[in-house]
A and B are shown apart, each in its own frame.
Chain A
Amino acid sequence: MKNFIVPDNIAISDSGFIFLPSTGETFTLNEMGKEIFKLLQAKKSLEEISSEIIKEYDIDEHTLERDIEDFILRLKSLNLVIQV
């Protein structure tokens, strides 16, 4: 199982705004994006993230798995997570 972590120097604000100090880039996330990003920051595994979300939100496992995969792919290409 692959896992991902957020580098320490990246912070996210309550409004879902990320500033990458090393490059000056900024990003905006929606509510769910913010939630998952914060879970990643808390060093949760993808499995843990998925089960936490299923507990709280009205969503099925397969759709969520696809969406998280796609989201992580985006984060990776934007250098906001590192695979470990």
Chain B
Amino acid sequence: MKLAITGLNATDNPGPGVPLIRSLKHSEEFDAEIIGLIYDVLEPGIYMENLTKKNYLIPYPSSGLENLYERLSYIQQQEKIDVIIPTLDSELFGFVKLEDKLEELGINMFLPTFEQLNIRAKDKLFDFCSDNEINVPKNILVSSISELQKIPEDFDYPVVVKGIFYDAYIVNNLEEAKTAFLKISSKWGLPIIIQEYLKGDEFNVVALGDGTGQTIGAVAMRKLYITDKGKGWAGITIFDNNLIEISKKVIERIKWRSGMELEFIRSSETGQYFLLEINPRFPVWVYLAPNAGQNLPYALLQLALGNQVQPFDNYKVGTIFVRSSWDLITDISVFEKITTKGEI
């Protein structure tokens, strides 16, 4: 069997490809060749020994679906791939749209639907959660500076000012809110989200839904160390039934199909969990899951192949990951080959 995986950019803002491969290899039953699908010739995964059998450059998602499809067809002729697991947010829309065409080439995937991808847009998530009695930080959308005057009617300062795609600032008064509004709107456009600021600890859940509403598995983690870029650099598995139940409810209601990460904050005042974000793919720390007893990536591979998968019922708490950086050494010839040939 052959399996292709994207996101081998194990950098300081890493993609989940490398940990996903490590997870798959963690399973004793796993027996497949792995092909790396890469966007840049310096993705560290290319240079790791025994990680992938071969790597192919593929076009950036921004260059259009036709190109991606054409390149994948070429790769398919060489490799006969059975399953592709895309791992990056920015490529998911493209792979979802190509799902049928790739299936015709004999490539299976296990992806969320277009509608499911849309639910997680920041402004829609709020509606989804309030319809389903899931706590989310209270938020409003504003599209002009003058609307910021209304903040005190709905919130107590501080509040979080967020962009519709990225970026967030905590502000303490109207002046700071205006500054944040201008900064974010000039970069990410309107509307701007004004969100209740919740004090508390952050918890993340990695999970897998089978598309019928059933949760195949869910492992909760608390970040132990967060870098100045906001990335978790160490974390520990924890268990709180509330947290897992909320995650299962989200999967049930959306009938989520694929791997995912749910980000929560636990209010230090009330102890309640608030859902901050849904990421439509496995997180970078996914390798923690098989080591805690739930090999969710391997289960996803089975689902992609159309096999039955039994849900996991528990996992080991107290399993820790600590991320490290590690210099790989290689010769310029490797770099030359991937640069000039596009495959290695």
- A residues at B contact (CB < 8 Å): 13, 15-17, 19, 26, 28
Contacts and interface: CB of A to CB of B under 8 A. Distances in A.
B340 A16 contact: yes
Interface in B303-337: 332, 335-337
Interface string B256-269: 00000000000000
Interface of B: 332, 335-337, 339-341
B340 A19 contact: no
A28 B336 CA distance: 9
Nearest to B332: A19
A15 B341 CA distance: 8
A35 to B, nearest CB: 15
Contacts of A16: 340
Mostly, the B contact residues are helix
A34 to B, nearest CB: 10
B332 A28 contact: no
Given A15-B337, A17-B339, 13 more contacts: A13-B336, A15-B336, A15-B340, A16-B340, A17-B336, A17-B340, A19-B336, A26-B332, A26-B335, A26-B336, A26-B339, A28-B339, A28-B340
Contacts of B340: 15-17, 28
17 contacts: A13-B336, A15-B336, A15-B337, A15-B340, A15-B341, A16-B340, A17-B336, A17-B339, A17-B340, A19-B332, A19-B336, A26-B332, A26-B335, A26-B336, A26-B339, A28-B339, A28-B340
A17 B341 CA distance: 11
Nearest to A24: B332
Contacts of B341: 15
A61 to B, nearest CB: 31
